[in-house]
Structure formats: C-alpha cells, structure tokens
Structure 1
Amino acid sequence: MRLNLILALSFLACLNFSLANDQRRPLARGRRRGVGPKRARKQTSNTALQQGRTAESNAQDGSIFIESYKEPKPNYEVTAAKSEHCIFRGITMYDKTVWSPKPCVNCLCSSGEMVCDRILCPALRCHLKFQPIGECCPICIDPVVDAPDFSGDPPSPIDLGDPYTEISQSQRDKKERLKQDEEERIRKKDAERKQRKKQKKEEAERQKKLKEAKEAREKEEELRRLREEEEERAAAEERKRRMEEQRRVEEDRARRLEMEQREMIRAMEEAAERAKEGLRGDEAAEDEDMVWLRGDVFQMPPVPPTRAANSPSLLALQEPTEPVEEDRELGEEETDVVEEDSEMVTTLLPPGCSISDVTVTCENAKLTGIPPLSIPELKSLSLQGNEIKTIPAGAFNGIPNLEWIDLGKNKIVSSGIDPQTFKGLKFLSRLYMDGNLLEQIPSELPPTLQELKINENNLKEIEENSFEGLSSLVTLEMEGNLLSEGNVNPQAFKPLKELNYLRLGRNHFRTIPQGLPASLLELYLENNLIEDISETAFNNTTNIHVVVLRHNKLDESSIAPLAWINHRNLESVDLSHNNFYLVPSFLPKSLVHLVLAGNQIERIPGYVFAHMEPGLEYLYLSYNKLDGDAIEPESFFGTFNTMTELCLDHNQLTSIPMGINEMTGLHFLRLNNNKIRHISEDAICDPSNDDDSHLVALRLENNFLDPRKIPPTAFSCVRSYSSVVLKPQRIK
C-alpha cells in the first residue's frame, strides 16, 4: 500500500513538471516572436529565429544561434563568461550590447552570454514578392496584400526585461534622433537662408551708401574744382588788371615824355630864331650865347628806342662845350628822367618771341642761349624747340618771379647747367626739360617746385640726393630714359614726401622700383621689361590708386599672391599687352577698373572676381583668345551687381557668355568681331527681371548672326533699339 502511494506521488510530480515546461516554452517563443510582420519588413532588431533552421554555433566567436521556437525544446548553447562583458572576435562587448556579425543576424550580450538569432520573416500570401537591397525579408508588391499568417501561438505581452525589446527601443530612439537631426538641419537651412537674405539686403544697403558717398565725393570734388577754377580765373583777371594798369601808366609816362620833348624842341627852335633876329653884339657875347644854346641842346635826354620811330628827328649837333652851372643842373634833372624810363629798353624781344599778359613765348626761335630779359612781373617763360645748350648762373636774374619754365626740345647737357641757375627762383613751381641731353637730375632745384618733367633724355642714374629738398614735388616724369632697378638708388625717392604722380615708362626696369614713397597715388611703368611682381613690391605704397603695367612681360605666374590683394585703395590696374593666358588670380580686393586687352587669355576661371569689394565695374578683355569653353558659369561671380562696362570684342566666342543676363547694372557691352551665330531669348536680357532697361549700348557686328532669327525679346533690356549695332555681319 505504501509502495503504491509513493508511485502515485512520483507520477503526479512528473506530470506537474512536464506541464510547467510546456507552459514556459510558448512564453519564451512569444517573447521572441512578439514583433509583427510590419516591423520585420523595416529591418528592426526583431530577434525571432527563422523557422525550420537549426542552431549554428561559432566556437571562435563564442556566439550561439538558436533554432526555431516551434521546437519543443530550444537547441542552443550559452557560453558563460566570467564577467558581465562578452568577447567577440577579440572585441569586448558590454552588457546589453547589440550587434550584427552577419547580415540578418543580431547578437546580444546578456550577463556575459552572447545570444545570436536570425531574423524571422513572415509568411506572405501574395503572388509578387520583392526583396529590397539591404533588407532581410521580402515584401509584397501586389496592389492588395493579405495579412501574413504566423504559425504558432499568439505572441505574449513583451517583457520589459527582454533584451530584444531593448533593441527595438534603441532603434526607435535612433529614428527619433534622426528625425530630430533632420528637423535641426531644416531649421539651420532656414536660418542660413534668412541670414543670406539679410546679408544680401545689408550688402545692397551698403552698396547704396557707397554709391551715395561716391556721388557726394564726386560732387564735392566738382565743387572744389569749380571753386579752384573760379579762383584761378579771378587771379588771372587780377593779374590782367594790374598789367593793364601798368601798361596805361607806361603809356601816360611815354606820352608825357613825348610832349616834353616836343616842348623842348619848340623852345630850342624859338631860341634859335631869336638868336638870328636879335641885335648883334660883340663877338664874345655872341660866342657866350652860342655856347649856352649848344649846351642846352646837348643836355636834352635821348629819345627812347621804343619811341624812335614816332619822335621827331633832331638836328645834327656839333661837339658840345663845357656847360655852365645852370645847364649842369638842368642836365642832372634830365638824367633822372632817363634812368626812370630805362626799363622800356628791355621790352625789346628777340625775333620770334612774343609777350602776352605775364607770359613770354620764344618757341622755335633758333635761340642759342637764354635771352637777357628784365621783366620782374613775368610769370611764365617758354623756350621750347630752340638750340640752347647751356644755362649760365645769372640767366634768370632779370625775371626772378618766374613760376613756370619750359626748356623742352633743346640741346641742354647736364654739364652746361650751372648749379646756381635755378636757386634764385623763389616762386618756381613747374620745370619742363623734355627732349634734351641730360644724364643727371639738375642740382639745387628750388624747394617750391611741384612739377618736374625730364622725359626723353639720357638719364643713366638717380643718386640718393638727386631729389634732395624737393619735399613739395607732386608730379615727377622721367619716361624714355635709360633707367633700371640697377641704377636707381632705393633711397632716392625718400625726400619726396608729397609725390602723388610718378611716370617711369619706356625705361629698362625688370621689377617694380624699390623705395617708392608712401604718398604715391598713381604709378606708370608701361613699355618696360617687367617680368615679376614680388610680395613686397607695393608694401610701402598702401595709398596707391592706379598702377599701369601695359606692354611688359608679365603672366599669371609672375604676380605673387600677396603682392596687392589686400590693398584697400587700389582701384585701377592696367595689364594689357602682356603674356597672360588666364585672368590672373589674387587681384586687389578694391579693384574697380581692370584692363587685360591684347593678351593671350583663353579662359576666365570661376570665382576669380568673387573676393572683390564692392566689386568690379569696368572689365576690358578685347583682343584675346576667348572661345566657347573659355567662360564658366561662375566666371563673373561677384560682378553681377556692379559691372558697368564689359568689352569682349575681337575674341573667338561662339555664343553669348553665361552670366551676362544677371548683370543688373551693365550699361555698355561689346561682343563685336567674334564668331557668335545664335542669340537665345534670355542670353542678354533676363525676362524675369521687371526692372527698367539698363543697357545703353550693345555692339554685335562682325559675327555670324542672322538678324531675322534673333528672338523679338532678346534685346528687351536695351534702352533704345537704335543703340544695338548688328551690321555688318560676316558671310557664313
């Protein structure tokens, strides 16, 4: 009996244990299959095992692949670790870490154990199936798709402690982060667009202010110029008035002297008549009277040379005798009159000379020396085109108030100029000595000099003290000489504190001269041999406005990147007739006027003008080799709002360059003498632009255009169709 009871209890315990195992297996399978087909198609971290496949174990990785959950007993092995970390292929995985060692396989590190599952794909009831690239499960592409059928028990509620629930949650968090990142990117893009719009508006306002400031400056300069002209006109009128008064005074004095001479001649004739008709006395008395008469005639003042033609001729006189005291006193008074009018003799000028106002002109008069003049009021003296070789020390003593001297086109040599020649001219401001034979700068020039021209000479050297004392010099021209960087002392320009304008063209410079003054505004170096512009060439001339380097040997590699890019005042650069094949980079930021005509330019690189502020206004690229591929869409970037005049004539363009229709301020456009065959409707004028017409002149002659095939609205932005030049065209 007792044995039967023990057997019954044992059977009951085994039955309960079997039922408990059967209840736990569906729960585990439900946990792993608690994800629907929708999440399986989205390639989530669903950890359900694929049905019908056996577990795979990788002994090297330490990972375990679990068989289908439909089996009554899971067939997988767990590799236990000594700690909560897992080691996968030499990599330490922390607890709860999920990774995918193979496609469609997910692994989990749980309490030091690695569990790997294949993704379970749902059974699809559709005819057409498709497996997207990168997806583990196929999807239906039928118009109507039946809901997939999962065999097995319904999934049980998700256990918060299940690691695959955490995988799904991490993917949801990742999607949420991606969504937030996308929203943040959109917000940033909107902010950047608003910022660009704001910057564009500010740029437009700044351009407007700059334009207004420029107009105000031009108006102020115009007013100043008018005021200066008015002052000069007033000064000229004042000088003319003074000269007129002086002339009237001289004429009155000459008239008075002439009347006095006539009165004296009449008195002499009357005395002679009385002597003939008077009583005859003794011989001594007669002799005494005769002596007195002759003495009176002798003491008469001589007739001035200027009035000799109009004065009555005097009778021939015999040799005078010694006059009496009364006659001597009278003679002293007449001598004063002679000294008072001796200046009139100096008004006699050499043949070929003329005087006007305060200017004496002796041009091409075949003079061999400085004429001896004594006219203190003289301001200007022109001796151009003579044969003067030397200038002595006292050449200008009689005209000390000279302000301007022109000695051009003579034969003056440096050794023929006395060092003291110009020293006494305290008001000299302009000295022209072009076309002579000078080899050195004249010494001891007055400090009042403001303009010095020594073009077309034989200058071979400029020493350190050549311009000593010329602190007021504003303009210096030395073109057409024998100067180079080897014979010009870098310290020579140091005394020129006010020099603004320097011309050194037609010399032999290979580099930019050193030691240029900081006050320089305009530099002309055309027709030299310049082939290099170093980074330090313009370091001292930060105020320079204009640089002319045409007809040299420069190319795009000759200009150092930092030679002038940071200059804020350099507005005009002339690089025409050099050896450029590309529009040079690193041009000055403040550049407004650029001349590149007569080069070999084949391409305009993109963004080459983008760094300029406010932007380029005048661009001359005539007589180059630009063709259909020479201009990129970004070539004119940075000039769309500022370009005023664009010259692309005499090139090889086959169509209208891109970007011209975006130039809202373009007034003059030259495209003549190219190979253009067609003009599209929006190539020159933008139809979407509702602003007023801005093009003033458009030249398209000497191309291959058929005027009948040009669209009617192609020139809608031109103010007047009469300003469009289309004829003649070349024969096709």
Structure 2
Amino acid sequence: ATEPPTNQTETQDNSTGPPAECQTADAEMSCRAVGMTHLPVFQNLEVTKLDLGENNIRIITPQSLFGLRNLHELDLSQNQLDDESFSQNCLLNLTLLRKLNLDDNQIIRIPALPASLEELKINKNKLTVLTDHCFQGVKNLLKLELRMNTLYEGSVSPAAFRPLQKLLELQLDNNRFRSLPLGLPSSLQVLKMNGNLIEEVAAEALRDCIHLKVLDLRHNYIHDQSININTWTRLRSLEDLDLSHNRLTSIPVNLPRFLRKLILRHNSVRHIPAFTFRHMRAGLQSLHLSHNELSTEGVERHSFVGTYRSMRELLLDNNRLQDVPRCVRQFKNLQVLRLENNQIRQVRQWAVCHPGNSVSTLVSVHLEYNLLEEEAIPPKAFSCVTDTQGLVLYPQQTY
C-alpha cells in the first residue's frame, strides 16, 4: 500500500538539514517565509550571512547556532522571539557577528550580545527598559536602532550607554520620551528622536555630545521655553538640526555656530529676530521655514545678517508674507528660493535680484499660489535667475 504523504511541518521539524525553502548562495543563506518555529540544523557552517526573517521562530538554543563561527550578519526580524527565546545566551557563541536584526518581535529587554557586534536593530518590539548592564561588553557597537518601542527617559539608566564608547548613531524614534535621555555617549554623531513626546531639550542631556553632527527632533512638543539657553553651547560639531513639526513661535537662540542646515517646517514661527544668525558666519547654508506663520512684519531688516554669503537654500513657502522679504537680494550665493503659497501681491524691481551682483547663482524661484498679477511684475525682476525653467509664477490664487 502507498504510504500517505508526510506533513510538511513534520518534515521540517524532523529534518537534519535546512528546510527545502532555504536557499544558499556562496556564503549567504536565506530561509524566509517557511513558517519555522525554531532554527533548522545548518549543514554549511561557513555561511557568513543568514536571513531567517518572516518566520514564526520562538526558540533559539545555543546548539542551533553552534559552529557558525564565520557568521557576520544575522536577520531574525519578523518572528515571535521574546525574552525567553534568548534565556540561554544563544548569541554569545557568534564571536564574529557584526550585524544583528531583531526588528518586529516581542522582546522586552536587551538580550546578551556578542562583543563583536557593530550594528544592532531592535525596532518595533516591546522594549520597556535599558538597564545599567544591558550593553555590557558590546564596546564595538557603531549603530543602534531602538525605534517604535515603549522607552521613556525614566526607563533608561544614565549608565545604560556607558559601554558604547564607539557608538556613532542612535535611533530612538517613536518611543515615549518627554525629554532626552541622560548618559548619551560622547562619540555620538547622529541622534534621532523623531515622533516622541519631547517637551524639554535640556543642556545636561547634550553636554557631552561634542561630536554630534545630526540631531533629529521632528514631531515632538518642543516650544520656545523648552530649549535651555545653553542647550547648544557645547555642540560645536552640529551641522544638521531638524525641529520641524513642533510648537516653536520663534527661531531658537544661540544656535550652534557651525550649523549648516536648520529645518523648522510646520511650526508656528511668527518672528525672526534681528541678528539671530550673526554668530553663524561659518555659515548656515539651508534654512527651511515652510508652513509657519511668518508675515512681512515678522522678518526684520537684519534677520538674516550672518548668512548672506553662506545661504544656498531658503524655503519660506506656505507662510503669510505679503511681500518678498527685503533681505533676499542681499544673498550672494543663493541657489533656491521658495515663496509659494503666501499672500504676495507685488514684486519690486530689485526685490530678488541685486543690480550690483553681476554673477548670479540663483537657479530656482517659486512664487506660485500668491496674489500676483502679471502687470505688477517689473520686466527685469528675475533677470538673475540662471535657469530658464527655474522660475515658477503660475498658477496664482484667485480670490
């Protein structure tokens, strides 16, 4: 009699090697979407990259990874792993592991990690705490992603990041922080905390971040009083600051001197005080003030002093400007000017182009969706725009 076909799950569980769906290409192995609940037995012990994402793995034993001494990258994302899955410290045998992806699991606490690790992703889990010793021994970590968890400032020990003396990038987006965590590594160059509940940016939290180049604080609750006057004092390396989608009504004071890009989109900025950027002659190249509440009165004659030679990109679209700001023609190296979606009714003869500037760098000017009428535009108002396709005037608002 013919024997009934063997159940696929049973075949997988009882197999002495990887399931048939596993594919090996040279030193890479991928076992995706095969419904495994635990790791198979690996025949190729020389594999350097192992992809086990999108399965149902719940159990990892030290034996299941034993012998994979050359493994450099391990992807265990989108499984059913929790703290119990790592209770036997199964990852410590992977002495050459550099990249580990544990995204989209059920992990509450950081598991024991191999000292060789350089990149760790534990996004979209259930992390609730970072303890004093959670990164103990992981001194080579360069990039750490902990996005979409439930961490907050009180659940992160000030000593948690102490072992990470080489960390360059930290991502804490979409957690529950109301303020920046303490004890950030001095080596840090990129800090991203987009989509939290941050109401305070204290100087103490950033005191040691002297190498920080990029700070992303988008989509928070930062207002004018949230930022301490000394917050930026020690951030001498900061080049890119994103404070968009917050509650600011004015430009923050004492900005880092060497800042290159400042993004303040979707706030309630009404006023740019005179000489706000005077100390930044090194100099600011890109300023994004789109979707704010700036009126002509809110931009003073000396608002942009300190940026006239450095500014390359100025975005003032979607505000309440009734006129082209008087300072625009003072910029020597401006390339992009956006003024669309305002209430501008006229463009003066030399509002955009300075008559004494014989060499222009201006490539793009947007003035659509204002209240301009063609006869209100002088013939040579945009003679300095170098790209014939770069001037956009239509359509205009009709009310």
CA distance in 2, matches of 1:573, 1:407: 33
**In structure 1, what residue type is equivalent to 2:362?**
L
Matched, 1:546 2:214: yes
Runs of 4 or more consecutive aligned structure 1 residues displaced over 6 Å after TM superposition: none
CA distance in 2, matches of 1:395, 1:620: 52
Aligned to 1:536: 204
Residue 398 of structure 1 deviates from its aligned partner by 4.1
Residue 594 of structure 1 deviates from its aligned partner by 0.4
Matched, 1:406 2:75: yes
Matched, 1:730 2:397: yes
Match of 1:625 among 293, 316, 340: 293
CA contact (8 A) 2:132 2:157 kept: yes
CA RMSD of aligned residues (A): 1.4
Structure of greater Rg: 1
Aligned to 2:306: 638
CA contact (8 A) 1:435 1:455 kept: yes
Structure 2: which 5+ residue stretches go unaligned? 1-14
Aligned to 2:255: 587
CA contact (8 A) 2:74 2:101 kept: yes
Aligned to 1:483: 151
> How do 1:470-549 and structure 2 match up within 5 A?
470-549=138-217
Per-residue deviation, residues 138-196 of structure 1 (Å, max 9, x unmatched):
xxxxxxxxxxxxxxxxxxxxxxxxxxxxxxxxxxxxxxxxxxxxxxxxxxxxxxxxxxx
CA distance in 1, matches of 2:334, 2:246: 27
Match of 1:716 among 379, 383, 390: 383
Match of 1:462 among 126, 130, 138: 130
% of aligned pairs identical? 38
CA contact (8 A) 1:556 1:585 kept: no
Match of 1:568 among 218, 225, 236: 236
CA contact (8 A) 2:135 2:163 kept: yes
Q: What is the DSSP-based 3-state SS (H/G/I as helix, E as strand, rest coil) of the residue aligned with 1:669? A: strand
Q: What is the DSSP-based 3-state SS (H/G/I as helix, E as strand, rest coil) of the residue aligned with 1:394? A: helix
Aligned to 1:442: 111
Residue 351 of structure 1 deviates from its aligned partner by 3.6
More helix by share: 1
**In structure 2, what residue type is equivalent to 1:457?**
N
Residue 537 of structure 1 deviates from its aligned partner by 2.1
Q: What is the DSSP-based 3-state SS (H/G/I as helix, E as strand, rest coil) of the residue aligned with 1:590? A: coil
Scaled by the length of structure 2, the TM-score of the pair is 0.94
> How do 1:184-583 and structure 2 match up within 5 A?
349-443=18-112, 445-583=113-251
**In structure 1, what residue type is equivalent to 2:114?**
P
Residue 688 of structure 1 deviates from its aligned partner by 1.7
CA distance in 1, matches of 2:116, 2:231: 35
CA contact (8 A) 1:375 1:398 kept: no
CA distance in 1, matches of 2:54, 2:30: 11
**In structure 1, what residue type is equivalent to 2:288?**
Y
CA contact (8 A) 2:281 2:310 kept: no
**In structure 1, what residue type is equivalent to 2:40?**
P
Match of 1:687 among 352, 355, 359: 355
Per-residue deviation, residues 526-583 of structure 1 (Å, max 9, x unmatched):
1111111223221111111111111111111111111113432111111101111111
Residue 420 of structure 1 deviates from its aligned partner by 3.1
Matched, 1:696 2:363: yes
CA distance in 1, matches of 2:299, 2:88: 60
Aligned length: 385
CA distance in 2, matches of 1:419, 1:470: 18
CA distance in 1, matches of 2:36, 2:203: 51
Scaled by the length of structure 1, the TM-score of the pair is 0.52
Residue 522 of structure 1 deviates from its aligned partner by 0.7
Aligned to 2:7: none
CA distance in 1, matches of 2:219, 2:124: 18
Structure 1: which 5+ residue stretches go unaligned? 1-344
Per-residue deviation, residues 584-617 of structure 1 (Å, max 9, x unmatched):
2121112111000000111111111111140211
Residue 417 of structure 1 deviates from its aligned partner by 1.5
Q: What is the DSSP-based 3-state SS (H/G/I as helix, E as strand, rest coil) of the residue aligned with 1:721? A: coil
Q: What is the DSSP-based 3-state SS (H/G/I as helix, E as strand, rest coil) of the residue aligned with 2:354? A: coil
